[in-house]
Structure 1
Amino acid sequence: MMVLFQRFLIRQYIFRSVSFVNPIVNYNLKPRLIPEIMKLEHSQYSFIFSPQLTTVLNIFDKYKYEVRLCGGAVRDILLGKTPTDLDFATTATPDEMVEILEKENIRLVNKGGLKHGTVTSHVDGVNFEITTLRIDVVTDGRHADVEFTKDWKLDAGRRDLTVNSMFLGMDGTVYDYFNGYEDLKKRQIRFVGDAKQRISEDYLRILRYFRFYGRLASAPDLHDEYILESIREKGSGLKQISGERIWSELSKILEGTFGPELMKTILNLGLGSYIGLPEQPNVDEFDNIINRSKGLKLNPITMLIAFLKDSQDMIEFNNRLKFRVFDRDLGLFLIESRHEKWTLDRVKKYKIKIIQNPTKQDALKTYIAQLLMYNNERIILEEFKQWTPLKFPITGNIIKNHGVTGKKVGLIMRKLIEYWADDDFKTNVDELISLIPKAEIELSKDFR
């Protein structure tokens, strides 16, 4: 009788735009027998329909397999945003997808995803990933052995957060089994089902929680206490997550809204050592840097090095998170330079260094700009942003033509750039050439 009553209620409403039928509000987040349903106007999602996608969808429709948009793309559409990625789910198994797509002469790429249920079709230069509905059978805290299913709510039930668990049918119908849209409207970030269970299945979900909280929440401290308790209890599981994956999530957290506040919450929950930070990070320095740099766009590394006391801390941090070279070197540069006093001579020194390293100019400019932000040198920062490195008028061949050979060519050039900078970059070519002997003499003294 209850099911019949639910169906009766649903029939009483005309679904337009983002209007809802909510016959049962289930705050225990157990899947409904009937999902909460709404229907979008075609104009709200029509941009997803390229000719290439239509070709693929027509094939699935021809063979009677349902396809729905899933995950973050649905969330973004409901927020009025254009998704960066379109992920699709289907009732067809991988073998069935391969069979129908090959029968219709659709090229398949990246077949390594088949064992996970994902088939990637390629139509006129565009790839579409379509994944079979799945349930997790065995999980190890990061990866899962899955079985395929045709039950949409079971697939929704294996996803991490309620706001990421919705599906969008190609007719505009949104299928919501876990109050995802209600949470989205309230800017609440909650796990699907029990937080401890979801986290135990994949410990990276701890950081994904904070990333989406920063993206969607309306204030930095509106966390559900049970979720925080679950994260504290399960946090040690982050030890088994690769550094690269942790850094991918952590950098997005710091770049998002409430990044510094969420970082403090992560530390307060005892997670710092699991993500590579020292046992006793310098929280006071972090607070000072964040407070005095408001309005400046700090790089995530620039924020994090405030927790570190020296270069050895940065090396150990890098050993855990496996930074790309740019981030690692930025961190080391900031730690080694952050306590120097800013003077006109120091600014000139960095400008000389940039000119002396033409292949690294962009990186060096970023490093120096971040150092100025870290030290809250706003006036110098604005002048530095406006400064364009001049091209040094002397080439290596010119120096060689004046009797200099081997490694000395580069060393002489660096000396000439220093002379050029001392003259406010005004010395002409002839004058610079005349300074080559002086540079050679100084170099000989340096090597004594």
Structure 2
Amino acid sequence: MSEQEALARLKAAAWLADAKPFFDCLGGDDGATRAVGGIVRDTLLGRAQTTTDIDLATVLRPQEVMERAQAADIRAHPTGLEHGTVTLVAGGVTAEVTTLREDVETFGRHAKVRFGTDWAKDARRRDFTMNALYADAAGALFDPLGGLGDCLARKVKFIGNADNRIAEDRLRVYRYFRFAASHGAQQFDAEALAACARVADNLDQLSAERVGSEMVRLLGLAKIGETLGEMKTCGVLDDIVMSQQTLERLVRYESLGFSPELSGRLALILAGGIEAEKLQDKWRLSNAQINAARSVFQACGDVLFGQVAEVAYRLPEHKFTIAAVASVLGEKDERWLAEHMAQMEQLVPDGFPVSGKDLVRLGYHPGPELGAELKRLEKCWLEAGYGYDKAALLAMARPPEN
């Protein structure tokens, strides 16, 4: 797309109207406050907005932001005053307003900063050139570092020296790869890759929560195979998590024509041999995330052994993911996958038609015998592809022993 088209899109952005109350009370027309970061970048790229939240940068100090907002009857929350951040809410729209900052001393994430009024210095504190783009209240672009070209070319480039940007916060290694996949069409900057490789052995200092948050977001994107390969080559992902076989399986998974799921990708990583508990701890995955991955992985064996109806019954929300992952693990061809996807599509049971109460009416008493018979009948029903109705199943019930 041309720069003219991108700039016209920015001027016509719908979110400018949502941001007007904030611009009005914070001197947006005078250039005191500008939108910054993701909402500007994604508008220029024509990407759909996934949130109504707006990031604003301002020359105003936090206390003045609070006072102006309150005078304009806008709710203000001091969510990060020590970092210069105030959260404002108006008309159901949230704006995170941060005062411009500049470094006094830099030592990783704990750099000493002070509030400033220099937009270029604020821009140089950011990570990538495509994230140092600002827009005023009228949607006019302010580009102090010349990042528009990189943004439109989908080049994810560190601002200035890549080693210096990473030294300020090593999580930027993971952010680089995530952005290369989400915004860079999996194009990679040689300088950035070399800088990431130089610190790969020193990333253990990062918290598992921060790393896991980046990895979960990365694993949720549509196309990441090349990105994972570069992360492996750089040493950012070790062989315990990303063996060559696991990488090849993940590449195969995203080539199947179905939208890859986080649970499917995590299941393929588990299939590489890492224990679920270790993976959960490494990336601080939630119980829901790791349990879904474990269920998908374990169910793949059932599908490969022909127990499709049982999988569709017990894990309906994951049945298509399971079929796709099973095809990868079982090295099945496209025809096999198409057949099993079609089966999964048709297998939509209302629920097992027999209950414990039904067996009580046949003379069973609550207890192990009733439970065993109920389980046996359920197995028969599943093996028949839900082919027996309630009457047929009760006719198949064995008489109670007592």
Q: Same fold (TM over 0.5)?
A: yes
CA distance in 2 between counterparts of 1:298 and 1:39 reads 30
AA at the equivalent of 2:56 = F
Provide the TM-score with structure 2 as the length reference: 0.84
Alignment partner of 1:271 is 2:236: yes
* 1:400-411 superposed matches below 5 A: 400-402=360-362, 403-406=364-367, 410-411=371-372
Q: 69, 80, 86: which one pairs with 2:46? A: 80
Q: 323, 334, 346: which one pairs with 2:285? A: 323
Gaps of 5+ in 1: 1-16, 20-37
Q: 30, 55, 66: which one pairs with 1:98? A: 66
CA distance in 1 between counterparts of 2:34 and 2:54 reads 10
Alignment partner of 1:392 is 2:352: yes
Q: 111, 114, 137: which one pairs with 2:81? A: 114
Q: Secondary structure at the match of 2:343?
A: helix
CA RMSD of aligned residues (A): 3.3
Residue 59 of structure 1, CA deviation: 1.7
Q: Which residue pairs with 1:170 in the alignment?
A: 137
Q: 104, 111, 120: which one pairs with 1:153? A: 120
Residue 268 of structure 1, CA deviation: 0.8
User: Which region of structure 1 is more displaced relative to structure 2, 240-249 or 140-149?
Assistant: 140-149
Alignment partner of 1:427 is 2:388: yes
**1:256-288 CA distances to partner (integer Å, 9 max, x unpaired)?**
465111111111111223xxx518x43035325
Q: 194, 200, 207: which one pairs with 2:167? A: 200
Contact residue 225 and residue 250 of structure 2 kept, 8 A? no
* 1:295-314 superposed matches below 5 A: 295-303=257-265, 306=268, 312-314=274-276
Residue 435 of structure 1, CA deviation: 3.8
AA at the equivalent of 1:417 = E
Q: 1:104 to 1:308 in 2, by over 3 A?
A: closer
Contact residue 163 and residue 189 of structure 1 kept, 8 A? yes
CA distance in 1 between counterparts of 2:276 and 2:250 reads 17
User: Which region of structure 1 is more displaced relative to structure 2, 249-258 or 151-160?
Assistant: 249-258
User: Which region of structure 1 is more displaced relative to structure 2, 297-306 or 209-218?
Assistant: 297-306
CA distance in 2 between counterparts of 1:129 and 1:256 reads 25
CA distance in 1 between counterparts of 2:29 and 2:108 reads 37
Q: 1:61 to 1:179 in 2, by over 3 A?
A: closer
Residue 227 of structure 1, CA deviation: 1.6
Q: Which of these two proteins has the greater Rg computed from alpha carbons?
A: 1
Q: 1:65 to 1:261 in 2, by over 3 A?
A: closer
User: Which region of structure 1 is more displaced relative to structure 2, 119-128 or 308-317?
Assistant: 308-317
Alignment partner of 1:66 is 2:32: yes
Q: 1:228 to 1:385 in 2, by over 3 A?
A: same
* 1:254-265 superposed matches below 5 A: 254-256=219-221, 258-265=223-230
User: Which region of structure 1 is more displaced relative to structure 2, 281-290 or 207-216?
Assistant: 281-290
Number of equivalences: 392
CA distance in 2 between counterparts of 1:39 and 1:307 reads 39
Q: Secondary structure at the match of 1:127?
A: strand
AA at the equivalent of 2:353 = P
Contact residue 204 and residue 246 of structure 1 kept, 8 A? yes
Q: Secondary structure at the match of 1:81?
A: coil
CA distance in 1 between counterparts of 2:342 and 2:209 reads 34
Q: Which residue pairs with 1:224 in the alignment?
A: 189
CA distance in 1 between counterparts of 2:21 and 2:250 reads 53
CA distance in 2 between counterparts of 1:161 and 1:79 reads 15
Q: 1:81 to 1:422 in 2, by over 3 A?
A: closer
Residue 338 of structure 1, CA deviation: 5.2
Identity of aligned pairs, percent? 26
Q: Secondary structure at the match of 1:426?
A: coil
Q: 183, 196, 209: which one pairs with 1:244? A: 209
Q: Secondary structure at the match of 1:69?
A: strand
CA distance in 2 between counterparts of 1:78 and 1:286 reads 33
**1:230-257 CA distances to partner (integer Å, 9 max, x unpaired)?**
1111223421222233233223334446
Q: Which residue pairs with 1:89 in the alignment?
A: 57
AA at the equivalent of 1:362 = E
Gaps of 5+ in 2: none
Q: 1:372 to 1:258 in 2, by over 3 A?
A: closer
Contact residue 203 and residue 235 of structure 1 kept, 8 A? no
Contact residue 310 and residue 335 of structure 1 kept, 8 A? no
CA distance in 2 between counterparts of 1:53 and 1:192 reads 27
